[in-house]
A and B are shown apart, each in its own frame.
Chain A
Amino acid sequence: MTPTQTPPDTPETTPQVEILPHGPDGIVLRLGLTPDAATLAAVGVLRQALETKALQGVTEIAGSLTSVFLRFDPGRTTRAALVDLARQIADQTDLARATLPAPARRWTIPVSLGGDHGPQFTDAARAAGLTESAARDVILSTPLRVLTIGFAPGLPYMGLLPPDWDIPRLSQITPNVPRGALVTAVRQLIVFTNPTPTGWLQIGQTAFLGFDPDRSPAMPLRAGDEIRFAPAFPSEIEALLADNPGGLGGARQEDLA
């Protein structure tokens, strides 16, 4: 689509695709610098569009919250050819009205919220302007998506929670949040794959291990998966942590495709 064909009523927030170099074998398609809902949706749609095309010479595709990264084999294509191809695909993809592509899978992960398992749950609820009961309902009823996986192997960034949950990270770092902990900040949720120092608020505990190199698959979650948290008693999570076949902490996976 050329600029003259752009509908005049296109909102100003339409994500624009910048194509930038990243190393001698990489390009980045960047849709923004901050992960607002429109940017996340555009990244999801563009990533799916790129993944479903057989792109000559492309060896790896990965997404962050705000961009899609393509690695290519310079022996099989050139940067210029790949940039042209990526630009065509971006132009053919409706990013203005993008919503996240429908999930292929849904995971239901048991979680114990608050109490000893979520020492900062009360603070998080207060920061979101909600009663604890209302905050519980939001965590357990919001249809969440894995927005990206990264930083550490299998570590899911999930969201988005409603705008009330745009809670800043704490300036005081909690030194050691346990593996499987559910934490929140900036409308997102993470289940830690290892004990981690963090400024995110610890609101619950799961027995879900997002990474186990000796398990197949080692990292079960994928970007785009739908996530539901199911309420569990603290004793149930403790029992799962003690006896955790496959390290999935009682999580169920359904194929939706």
Chain B
Amino acid sequence: MSARLTLHSAGAGVTVQDMGRPGALAQGLSRGGAADRLALIEAAALLTQPAPVAGVEMALMGAEVSVTAPMRIALTGALMQASLNGTPVPWNTTLLLTPGDRLRIGAVKAGVYGYLTPAGGIATPPVMGARATHLTAGIGRPLAAGDSLPLGEDPAPDTPPMALNPTDRLTGGTLRIMPGPQTGLFDATTRDRFHATAFTRAPTGNRQGVRLDQPGAAFGTTGGSLASDIIQPGDVQMTGDGVPYVLLSECQTMGGYPRIGTVIPADLPRVAQAAPGTDLRFIPVTVDEADALWTNEAAQLKALRKAVTPLRRDPHDIPDLLSYQLISGMIRGDEHDEKDPCR
């Protein structure tokens, strides 16, 4: 019997995700796949995989899981509470899960989308060439307690736990935006104001895209109505009332709202991982600059693999367990302040 991953509980936004279904734009299907693609590439680096495999994406709230055969698990993306049989485990590492163990992923502590990736990959039957759930298109569905997913075999379960210092992207910041086909529909004054505006990620958002709030006037165009045209992840579109949305993995393939530009792929994980209320700004880059910043995902994986190190997790190796947990974010760090009766 092949290995399985059983979900004993699951948050509302838990889905199977891989790198999606590229190449179906002409048929109206956006690529989809992980909202934070870098997190699946990091998982592949941690697990020494030649390419990313399907894992479990968890939006804001995690899942409690067990396995039927020994399996390394990588935890990447948004920082989430995690414990193995009740003992906290660090994020951005691998751990070995054996039958009888319970891995519990709780609420998010920073970011939005966390990833639990089994070394054998989730081995559900591919639909149209991929395993990713595409909620907008109606491919697959959110996972729920009681679901059991087939897994591929872990090729090297005896590999010691590994760790990776992730690319910082959980706290908002500056997004590089390149001109797109409709940038010219916005006048120079509007574009300058857009680049000078401090936005916050609005409560409205999902795998299709996120809305951005700001206190000033709307960002309108000078022209009339537009024919629908091709849109893609990273495009920043202004809805009818001039409110920006940054499009993500599951965006539709055509839209009639004007787009002021495209956030470069390197900065899209920063958008996906911006929790509501997070500060975001845009800085314009030229087409040449954006092209120079492009790297393919295979090269990203190759580079990340070199950054993976063995995890020092034996308590005897760790002089101060509490400070170690502080560094990896297991607790906020101010609990003592709150509970200290002397204060």
Interface residues of A (CB under 8 A from B): 20-26, 28, 30, 32-35, 59-67, 69, 71, 73-75, 78-79, 148-155, 194, 211, 213-214, 218-219, 222-223
Whether a CB of chain A sits under 8 angstroms from the CB of B253 is yes
CA distance A214 to B230 in the complex (A): 25
A residues within 8 A CB of B287? 21, 79
A residues within 8 A CB of B265? 23-24
Most B-side CB within 10 Å, residue of A25, A28, A61, A152: A152
Contact of B228 among A62, A150, A194, A214 (CB under 8 A): A150
Contact with A along B18-43 (1 / 0, CB 8 A): 00001111111100000000000000
Decide yes or no: A219 and B181 within 8 Å by CB, A23-B232, A64-B227, A150-B228 being known contacts: no
Whether a CB of chain A sits under 8 angstroms from the CB of B2 is no
CA distance A69 to B23 in the complex (A): 12
A sample of 8 more A-B contacts (CB under 8 A), given A152-B136, A211-B137, is A22-B180, A24-B264, A60-B25, A62-B25, A151-B255, A153-B29, A213-B139, A219-B24
Q: How far is the CB of B126 from chain A (nearest CB, A)?
A: 11
Closest 3 CB pairs of A and B: A150-B254, A62-B26, A62-B25
- Chain B interface main SS type: loop
Cβ of A64 and Cβ of B26 under 8 Å apart? no
Decide yes or no: A75 and B137 within 8 Å by CB, A22-B230, A23-B262, A63-B26 being known contacts: no
Interface residues in B, total, Cβ within 8 A: 40
Contact of A155 among B22, B28, B181 (CB under 8 A): B28
Q: Which residue on B lies nearest to A148, using beta carbons?
A: B254
Cβ of B234 and Cβ of A23 under 8 Å apart? yes
CA distance A30 to B226 in the complex (A): 13
B residues within 8 A CB of A30? 181, 229
Q: Which residue on B lies nearest to A19, using beta carbons?
A: B181
Cβ of B28 and Cβ of A150 under 8 Å apart? yes
CA distance A61 to B226 in the complex (A): 21
CA distance A32 to B254 in the complex (A): 16
A residues within 8 A CB of B28? 149-155, 211, 219
Most A-side CB within 10 Å, residue of B27, B138, B229, B296: B27
Cβ of A64 and Cβ of B254 under 8 Å apart? yes
CA distance A85 to B161 in the complex (A): 50
A residues within 8 A CB of B296? 73-75
Whether a CB of chain A sits under 8 angstroms from the CB of B290 is yes
Interface residues of B (CB under 8 A from A): 22-29, 127-128, 136-139, 178-181, 223, 226-230, 232, 234-235, 252-255, 262, 264-265, 287, 290-291, 293-294, 296
B residues within 8 A CB of A67? 181, 229-230
CA distance A194 to B138 in the complex (A): 9
Cβ of B179 and Cβ of A218 under 8 Å apart? no
CA distance A223 to B139 in the complex (A): 22
Cβ of B227 and Cβ of A218 under 8 Å apart? no
CA distance A75 to B178 in the complex (A): 19
Q: How far is the CB of B105 from chain A (nearest CB, A)?
A: 28
Q: Which residue on A lies nearest to B286, using beta carbons?
A: A21
CA distance A65 to B264 in the complex (A): 26
CA distance A24 to B228 in the complex (A): 21
CA distance A165 to B117 in the complex (A): 53
Decide yes or no: A213 and B181 within 8 Å by CB, A75-B296, A154-B28 being known contacts: no
B residues within 8 A CB of A75? 296
